[in-house]
Amino acid sequence: MTDTAADLLAGSRRALARAITAVENDAPEAEAILRAVHPHTGGAHVIGVTGPPGAGKSTLTDHIAKAFRAAGERVGIVAVDPSSPFSGGAILGDRIRMGDLALDPGVFIRSMASRGSLGGLARHAADAAALMDAAGMGVVLVETVGVGQSEVDIARAADTTVVVLVPGQGDGVQAIKAGILEIADIFAINKADRDGVPQLEAELNAVLDLAERRPAWRPPVLRTVAKTGDGVAELAENIVRHLAHLRESGGLESRRLARAEAELLARLEEGLRRRVVAAALPPERLAALAARVVRREADPYTLTAELLAECFAG
Ligand SMILES: Nc1nc2c(ncn2[C@@H]2O[C@H](COP(=O)(O)OP(=O)(O)O)[C@@H](O)[C@H]2O)c(=O)[nH]1
Ligand SMILES: [Mg+2]
């Protein structure tokens, strides 16, 4: 086992920080660390908090973290912001924002910004959550901005997903369009101090009435005012209730199985892609073949078929 992994498992915050940095940088030691800590994961309740920019996810995440701290849990926070140019846990705003939480030794906060592809970011966030899990955090909150596919990917790594929407902005319609309803286990109508709350509630409930997908768990639609903390206790209760429901219904097992399948497939595809490309298309050959395509001496369809046949011959 690597020193970093052993120290992380022994509770070192510095080792946890180092491990997340390794993951974020796709450093060579990252895989060895993840491999070593894997047997020690699975204990944390991973909670995704997602929704449009400015909905109040960060503010709400702070309050949820405090609620779980008050219940005696150690809490990890992974704040993902693909739009931020900063990384390495040094997003100044987040540090200031979470000032009092950052001083709590029972809380570990890490911000991750875009580095490479969004898909990479989703994987890094999931790996960071796993590292916090292994380090003994009973609850890991993963905050993600936006409602695009990468956020859906991140949400799939969570046991419970809270979708945060704001009244009066057509968020309900947007959420339906973005397919975010499918990933929501709980809706938080944040900024409930503003106008338009009953309308958004009615919109969401109308859609939930139509969707019979999870009859045993109807996602509750809750009101929160993250600025003051109003409604957060009820939100935290529903998060805990959702985990209990997953445990009792076998849903936790099936979600985690689906997640493991997706991860195995994604890793195999990535590994395969790299090996095949490296073997079949070194840069000079790629350039030469591209030139033939442009000169109309060959077409890309035939060439691809030939390359694949070459890779898997014999
Ligand atoms: N009026 C009102 N403002 C809020 C509420 N929650 C958050 N805000 C404000 O909305 C802005 C965006 O909040 P933030 O947590 O950074 O949103 P995020 O982008 O979703 O993480 C900040 O100025 C917050 O103070 C709320 O419940 N009511
Ligand atoms: Mg935020």
**What does the pLDDT look like over 22-40, one tens digit per residue?**
999 989 999 999 999 999 9
Is the residue at 279 inside a domain? yes
**Same domain? 96 vs 168:** yes
Can you tell me the distance from the alpha carbon of 73 to that of 95, in angstroms, rounded to the nearest whole number? 21
Same domain, 64 and 170: yes
Q: Same domain, yes or no, for 276 and 144?
A: no
CA distance 164 to 50: 6
Which pLDDT does position 148 carry in this prediction? 59
Give the ligand 1 atom nearest the CA of 192.
27
The predicted structure's pLDDT at residue 88:
40
Torsion-angle region of 231 (φ positive above 0: left; ψ -120 to 50: alpha; else: beta):
left
Which residues make up the environment of ion ligand 2, defined by Cβ < 5 Å?
57-58
The residue with greater pLDDT, 165 or 97, is 165
Please give the residue range of the domain that contains residue 51. Answer: 41-249
Same domain membership, residue 78 and residue 131: yes
The structural domain count of the chain equals: 3
Of residues 124 and 14, which shows the higher confidence score? Answer: 14
Q: Whose CA is nearest to atom 17 of ligand 1?
A: 56
Are residues 79 and 214 located together in one domain of the fold? yes
pLDDT digits (tens, 9 = 90+) for 107-147: 999 988 765 566 677 888 899 999 999 999 999 999 987 65
Q: Evaluate whether residue 258 is within a structural domain.
A: no
Say if 254 falls within a structural domain. Answer: no
Would you say the CB of residue 2 lies under 6 angstroms from ligand 1? no
d(CA 103, ligand 1 centre) in Å: 22
Q: Is the CB of 79 under 6 A from ligand 1?
A: no
Does a structural domain hold residue 257? no
Do residues 116 and 75 both lie within one domain?
yes
pLDDT of residue 147: 52
What mean pLDDT is predicted for residues 237-258?
Answer: 95
Say if ligand 1 is within 6 A of residue 56 CB: yes
More confident residue, 219 or 148: 219
105 and 225 belong to one structural domain: yes
Q: What is the mean pLDDT of the chain?
A: 87
Residues 227 and 89 in one domain: yes
User: Residue 213's pLDDT is what?
Assistant: 62
User: How much of the chain, in percent, has pLDDT values that exceed 90?
Assistant: 62
Is 227 touching ligand 1 by the criterion CB < 6 Å?
A: yes
CA of 155 from ligand 1 middle (Å) equals 21
Q: Whose CA is nearest to atom 19 of ligand 1?
A: 54
Using one digit for the tens of pLDDT, what is the confidence trace for 189-201?
999 999 999 999 9
Q: Provide the CATH number for the domain around residue 177.
A: 3.40.50.300
Strand ranges of the sheet holding 75-81, from the earlier edge strand across to the other edge: 107-113, 75-81, 139-145, 45-51, 160-165, 186-189, 221-223
Read off the pTM. 0.88
Residue % of the chain over a pLDDT of 70: 87
Residue 14, ligand 1, Cβ within 6 A: no
> Alpha helices, DSSP H only, in the chain?
3-9, 13-24, 30-37, 57-70, 92-97, 99-102, 118-134, 149-156, 171-177, 197-210, 232-249, 251-280, 283-294, 300-311
Please give the pLDDT value at position 277.
92
